[in-house]
Structure 1
Amino acid sequence: MLLLFTIILSVVLLARFLEERIKLPFALGSIVLAYLANFWFDLAAFGDFFPEIVYLMLPIILIPDVLGVSRSELRNNLVAIVYLSLFAVVMAIAMAIGVTLWVLPEYHFTIGILLALFVPLMATDVVSVSSIFGHFKLPEKLKLYAEGESLFNDITAMIIFFFIALPLISGQEFTLSNLHLVLGKMFFESLLVGLVIGVAGYYAFKFFKDSVEQFLTLYIMASLAFIIGEHLEVSGILGVVVTILLFKYLFDKEGQYKKLDRYALYSFLNSESASSVSFRAYRKEAHYLGLFANGVIFVAIASVVDLAQLWQYHLEILLVFALTTVIRLLVIAPLAWWRAHPQRWTGALTLAGMKGGLAIIMAFSLPDDFLYKEAFMSIVLGVVILSLFINTALLIPYLRYHSAGFALDKANDGNVLSTMDARQELKKMLQKDRLTQAYNTLVFEDLIEKEMARSQRYQQNFALLAFEVDNPKLVKKRILPTLRSSDYFGKLDDNRYAVLATHSGIDAALIVAQKLQKKLRGQHIAVVEYSTGDTLEMLYDKLETAFKSAKPIDIEV
């Protein structure tokens, strides 16, 4: 077991190294390295218990993904996410079944049999999508579509597979009325499990004050939601997602019940669970555990790969891969048209349809007496591997080719421009603002990310100082003379500006903040210090927290 543990850690380490150095997506690097390791070491233990291992890892993988979801962004784009993760999945399944029945009528496939084949292939892998998208300047809404879809279409696929496909192939018959009853009951019970565990877990989190205890509470909470959901034969994944989203909501609402403090219950509700600094640390630690869990899954996938068996079904694998890819394009395109997004978004979201371990779990869950189990397992496994290789090989150059357009979408909130127009417009936008001499947001974010990489490499601190000014004419006159030669001045939003204070700890940044505040006549200054492992998103979260403070200068570390 120690050898297996060492192999997993080595795969995760090398895959992470390749991702940082040559931009090879973590998922792709992991599966290649795991397959190579399978040649030299005996990984049969993973193959023998593949479904159990992946089920064990699922809550650990889901936690960082759900913690990273912005509730406000999710709420603002709920209709698009529901379309991608529910209606598009159902339409894609229906189209795949229809094409198969039309092309291969001689096989007399039933709806249940075809559901067992195509439903697993509707679950996409959020880790693969995030690892690729994270290396490009893409609109936040595009990232939310892709990552939100990958997170929530897993729920849709598992519900259809376990509550419709498996009963159908076992001989159970459904009418429209009892189908509604089954799905409605399952959805309600899954939601109830998530709500109950979320509330209980939140109060348990408040009860413990030690950071290690609180961090473990998060995982126990998610695991219990999954275990109870599966035990009650409802959706464990939906239970986990609801649990963590509810926990985040309650955590964000702390401190909003001060008028009711005279009651003991509300006083406890109003008490602080953990500082925002601690909670950001939990997100980092959850991300690291998630990397390990994904390493386990990809090593497990490599252990069940049988190249001879895959080759036996290579034509079926290629046909199913081509069919599901074309259908994905057809169901993605209406979203881009409906939301008036550039067509380049359609290509990006289509290629972001990489499959993962969840598809293989469903294939392995087919009954042993199912006539097509071996063929379907091989086809699903083959399509998963093919999608990781081909989609990745196409998605990266696609994003690079359209980088100017996507960068402009990020700055212009998705306005439709041709690639040529986008490059010309972007060239203008990359210049400093004439009025304030502030770097454009895109350039400034690049400077921050370069400083983050330098800070990690040389262990040198830096800070961000931000403020809001309604009159930009005052900025150039008052701010620029205050800055040091090593500082960068940039624009984050219409009225929000920031100073990137390089080579600066919090003490040096505080001196700069005090000078800025004098020049801005008492304007509120938000100061954040970079901590190892922070992402750009986490730095912005710190800024938002600091901006909410009533202090003249608020510091977040």
Structure 2
Amino acid sequence: MHSFAPEIILITILGLVVFSDAVANKLKIPSVFLLLIGSYTIYTYVPMAVPIDLKQYFDTIILFCIPLIFMGDALHLHFSDIKKYGWDIFYLAVVAVALSISVGASMYYFGVFEGLTLGAYVSLFAINMATDAVSVQSILSRFKGISHHIKVLIEGESLGNDATAVIAFFFIGLPWMMSGEIDAGHAALDALRVFVVSIGIGTAIGFSFYMLMKLFSDKRSEFFAFIIEAYLAYVVAEEMHVSGILTLIVAIIATKAWIDSDIKVLEEGEVQKSKSFMRKLRLSNIHATTTERLEYIYEMAKEFGYIAAVMIFFVLAEMVSVEKLWEYKTEILIMFGITTLIRAISMAKFAFWGNKVKHIEPVGAEGWFILTFSGMKGALSIILVHMIPASFEHKEFFEVVTTGVVMMSIFVYGTTLWTYFTFFKKEKEVSIFKK
């Protein structure tokens, strides 16, 4: 007799996405709340709807979902915004994350979590400082009233934050935690190597797919090209032992940047009789896509990202144990409190620097509030904690605490932002993730 397990789980995932969106639109609440609750409820009480042991295939699910989750968010960033707010994004995505992980690791000297080494603290905070783009978009995408500056910072920080956290975890925290020692100079150089090589590979792949897309003239082919690019960038980078996530992000942003440049020239009618060598190399007279087709690509990428996030949420549901969460409730609350405080202070320093540093624009009190509570954790934190070897004696602690922090951040941060925009800053609903 045939097994229809793949078909059943596909129906479950798509059904949950559709149902969550429908209910969220009616109740005016973030769909990520319903996705998370629905995943746990279905997995726990309707097991026939999830006939595949997702935990057994977790590694496969990760490889399938990562490109889809990050591709959509990368497509929303405009290169013109990256140039304009580059220092802001660099601080939030690199400096602030590195400082946050360092401050979190310093908790080792206060003995906050018994039995953990300094390397384990670095890994724990790298995992729990990674934000989740899907959760943030789900909660903030309904409302306007947020400045374009803050919108760009949210998008840029959610991508760069993740890349930095991944590099800190895999190339510093994890080796340090497992071996018990680390050569700081070697680790720093290795992290720098990963950063530079990942950007180089991503840029090359991005240009290749930009040129490839000039062969297409329909939105479906262009959308599939972006999907292929995301998966290819991730796989190639991982095979070369650098950051697949950073390479993927750079590749998509690079392709999108050249496309944006072509569209700008076309819209402004900047027909140049004397073209530069780079324009000739890019075959700038042949356009890769149009604004209308890009809107379709944005929407499809967002939906695919939601589907991938739901798959991760189902695995999270399998990892959730009410008994274990209750057993580690104190540690979860401490970790949630520390990470929230660190983020709030980090964002406050950013707001202060915005008034003092020439290259960083101020965000104000409201900007600080929104940036602080847009630091929701999600799929990437679950992925990273799963990567810890089973031989690590504190893996259960890491898994339970991280799961608890992810859930608390989504509900506490999400509810805080939703309450603010619903009751204190009522505005006409419109996606803030459109320029």
State the partner residue of 2:136: 129
Q: Tell me if the contact between 2:382 and 2:402 (Cα under 8 Å) persists in the aligned partners.
A: yes
Q: Aligned residue for 1:311?
A: 326
Structure 1 equivalent of residue 357 of structure 2: none
Instruction: Name the residue aligned to 2:74.
Output: 66
Residue identity opposite 1:383 in structure 2: V
8 A Cα contact 1:123 1:358, kept in partner: yes
Residue 32 of structure 1 is matched in structure 2 by 37
- C-alpha distance 264-325 of structure 1, shift in aligned 2 (>3 A): closer
- The answer on whether the counterparts of 1:119 and 1:161 sit within 8 Å (CA) in structure 2 is yes
1:371-410 pair list within 5 angstroms: 371-400=393-422, 402-403=424-425
Q: How many residues align?
A: 412
Q: Match of 2:119?
A: 112
- Counterpart position of 1:188: 196
With normalisation by structure 2, the TM-score equals 0.87
| Contact 1:129–1:147 (8 Å) recurs in 2 | no
Higher relative contact order (CA 8 A, sep 6+): 2
Report the CA distance shift for 1:374/1:263 in structure 2 as closer, same or farther (over 3 A): closer
| CA–CA separation in structure 1 for the residues paired with 2:278 and 2:210 | 19
Residue equivalent to 2:373: 351
Partner Cα distance (1:239, 1:337) in 2: 32
- Pair 1:155–1:264, CA change in 2 (3 A): closer
Distance in 2 (alpha carbons) for counterparts of 1:135 and 1:214: 27
Q: What is residue 242 of structure 2 aligned with on the other side? A: 234
Which one is further off, 85-94 or 28-37? 85-94
Distance change >3 Å, CA 25–CA 537, structure 1 → 2: closer
Whichever residue aligns with residue 348 of structure 2, its letter is A
Q: How far apart are 1:384 and its partner, in Å?
A: 0.5
The aligned runs of 1:521-540 (5 Å cut-off) are none
- Asked if structure 1 preserves the Cα contact closer than 8 Å seen for 2:21 and 2:31, the reply is yes
Distance in structure 2 (CA, Å) of the matches to 1:336 and 1:156: 21
Match of 1:41 in 2: 47
Segments of 5+ residues of structure 1 without an aligned counterpart are 408-445, 453-534, 542-557
**Bigger Cα displacement from structure 2, 95-104 vs 317-326:** 95-104
Provide the residue aligned with 1:299 in structure 2. 314
Post-superposition offset of 1:117 = 1.4
> For the Cα contact (< 8 Å) 1:124–1:154, is it kept in 2?
yes
Aligned counterparts of 1:397 and 1:231: Cα–Cα separation in 2: 44
1:181, 1:116 → 2: CA distance? 18
Partner-residue secondary structure (3-state), 1:259: coil
SS for the counterpart of 1:205 is: helix
Q: Which residue of 1 aligns with 2:391?
A: 369
Distance 2:432 2:396 in 1: 45
Where does structure 2 lack aligned partners over 5 or more consecutive residues?
1-5, 266-270, 355-361
CA distance in 1 between partners of 2:376 and 2:98 (Å)? 18
How many Å apart are 1:122 and its aligned residue? 0.6
When residues 350 and 329 of structure 1 are mapped into structure 2, their CA distance, relative to the original with a 3 A threshold, is same
- Given that 1:230 and 1:236 are in contact with CA atoms closer than 8 Å, whether structure 2 keeps it comes out as yes
**CA gap 1:260/1:134 in 2 versus in 1, 3 angstroms:** closer
Deviation at 1:41, TM superposition (A): 1.8
Offset at residue 537 of structure 1 (A): 6.5
Q: 2:213 corresponds to which residue?
A: 205
1:183-227 Cα distance to aligned partner (Å, 9 max, x none): 121112111210221122122211233443222111111110001
SS of equivalent to 2:179? coil
Asked if residue 272 in structure 1 is aligned to residue 287 in structure 2, the reply is: yes
Distance 1:24 1:240, change over 3 A: same
Instruction: Give the aligned residue type for 2:15.
Output: S
Equivalent-residue separation in structure 1 for 2:178 and 2:319 (angstroms): 25
**For residues 53 and 207 of structure 1, what CA distance do their matches in structure 2 show?**
32
Deviates more, 1:23-32 or 1:218-227: 23-32
Check the 8 A contact 1:352/1:391 in 2, yes or no. Answer: yes
Give the whole-Å Cα distance in 2 for the aligned partners of 1:323 and 1:279: 40
1:490-524 per-position Cα deviation (integer Å, ceiling 9, x unaligned): xxxxxxxxxxxxxxxxxxxxxxxxxxxxxxxxxxx
Larger radius of gyration: 1
Distance apart, 1:267 and its partner CA: 8.1
For 1:262 and 1:122, the matched residues in 2 are separated by: 43
Which residue pairs with 1:484 in the alignment?
none
Normalised by the length of structure 1, the TM-score is: 0.69
Q: 335-344 or 217-226, which moves further after superposition?
A: 335-344
Instruction: Give the equivalent residue in structure 1 for 2:105.
Output: 97
* 1:111-139 deviations in Å (ceiling 9; x for gaps): 21111211100101112212222223222
CA shift for structure 1 position 108: 5.6
Q: Identify the residue that residue 15 of structure 1 maps to in structure 2.
A: 20
- Counterpart residue identity of residue 301, structure 2: A
CA distance in 2, matches of 1:111, 1:327: 18
SS at match of 1:366: coil
In structure 2, do the counterparts of structure 1 residues 325 and 201 end up closer, same or farther at CA, with 3 Å as the change threshold? same
Equivalent position amino acid for 2:351 in 1: A
**Would you say 1:140 and 2:140 are equivalent positions?**
no
Code of the aligned partner of 1:11 = L
* 8 Å CA contact retained: 2:141, 2:432: no
Following the alignment from structure 1 to structure 2, what is the Cα–Cα distance between the partners of residues 48 and 164? 28
Name the residue aligned to 2:3.
none
Return 17-26 or 239-248, whichever deviates more.
17-26
Structure with the largest fraction of strand: 1
In 2: Cα distance, 1:266 partner to 1:104 partner: 57
- Residue 359 of structure 1: how far off its partner (Å): 0.4
Provide the aligned C-alpha RMSD in A.
Answer: 2.5
Q: 1:400: Cα distance to partner? A: 4.1
Q: Distance in 1 between matches of 2:279 and 2:28?
A: 53
* 1:387-412 Cα distance to aligned partner (Å, 9 max, x none): 111222222223345427xx8xxxxx
Cα distance in 1 between the residues matched to 2:376 and 2:64: 22
Amino acid at match of 1:280: E
CA distance in 2, matches of 1:385, 1:18: 20
Distance 1:268 1:335, change over 3 A: closer
* Offset at residue 244 of structure 1 (A): 1.0
> 5 Å matches for 1:501-516?
none
**Relative to structure 1, is the Cα distance of residues 87 and 277 closer, same or farther in structure 2, using a 3 angstrom cutoff?**
same
Distance in 2 of aligned mates of 1:69 and 1:178: 33
Preserved CA contact (<8 Å) 1:27 1:298: no
Q: Deviations over 1:419-451 (max 9, x none)?
A: xxxxxxxxxxxxxxxxxxxxxxxxxxx4xx6xx
Q: Matched residues in 2 for 1:315 and 1:130: separation? A: 30
SS of aligned partner of 1:46 = coil
AA matched with 1:182: D
Asked if 2 retains the 8 angstrom alpha-carbon contact of 1:133 and 1:143, the reply is no
1:263, 1:383 → 2: CA distance?
Answer: 48
Q: Give the 3-state SS of the residue equivalent to 2:311 in structure 1.
A: helix
Q: What is the SS of the residue equivalent to 1:85?
A: helix
